[in-house]
Amino acid sequence: MPAKKKQSTTSSTKNQKSKDVSLAEFPSVPVHLEEQKITDDFRRNASELRSNLETPKNQIKRRPDGFDYVDEAYMRRQLTKNFPNWSWIPSPDNPVQFLGSEWIIVAGSLVVDDLGEKRTFFSPGGTRIQFKKGQPHTADNVIDVDKQLGAANANAFKRAVNRLCNVADDVYRKQDLDLTELQLDQLRTLITNSTDLPSEMISRVKVLVQTGKINKNNFDLQYEQLKNEITNINEKE
């Protein structure tokens, strides 16, 4: 019995040495890199959540040309809510420009502190110069130039908030609506597990996915409709 006990101890020691050597060959990831990855993942998830957030209907307005927009006040509130430490900095080179006698262009950069990382986005904005009604478009007939400068600045600011911080992505059509891999797998499984489907139907589904007619926003509804359509086909058979 003592000999067996000694042999067991020796074997255990060898195994332990083997484990130690194995672990030594694969050094652990530095703590600061692990923390950086966690922070980056948090930033990405927060950005996606903001992008997918539906803008309240009472905040959405429509321009005469049919395009939707939101006021600067709403963008500013959302910016302050998500990035309290932000700055809107005028472009160092000609932040205000007059293009001929018709347009005012204002350019600036939005700077935010995103969990300790400074992020910047340059953005121009423009608006038409307004003149006295029925008068030549000359400097003497310009009206409310300060308001037009403010409008150009607001346009630049709102674009920067949208592009850098994903605020009102649904209004400005900047959402990523591509289906996730999980959603694509659901569609593949549904079609693969259904036998004798018309080739026209399969082609139609592919086209709907490729053209974005089936997307993240309407996937559940489209999936159920497709599922019911397949069920009806199977019942007829």
As a whole number of angstroms, the distance between CA 61 and CA 58 comes to 8
pTM across the whole model: 0.69
Residues 6+ positions from 143 with CB-CB distance below 8 Å? 130, 131, 132
Residue 115: which of 55, 193, 37 has the closest Cα?
37
Per-residue pLDDT tens for 128-137?
A: 998 999 888 8
User: Quick one: tokens of 118?
Assistant: 């400074």
* More reliable by pLDDT, 58 or 140: 58
Per-residue pLDDT tens for 58-81?
A: 999 999 989 999 999 999 999 999
User: Quick one: tokens of 26?
Assistant: 């694969």
CA 226 vs CA 44, 120, 203: distances in Å: 32, 44, 13
Q: What does the angle CA 115 – CA 86 – CA 126 come to, to the nearest 5 degrees?
A: 130
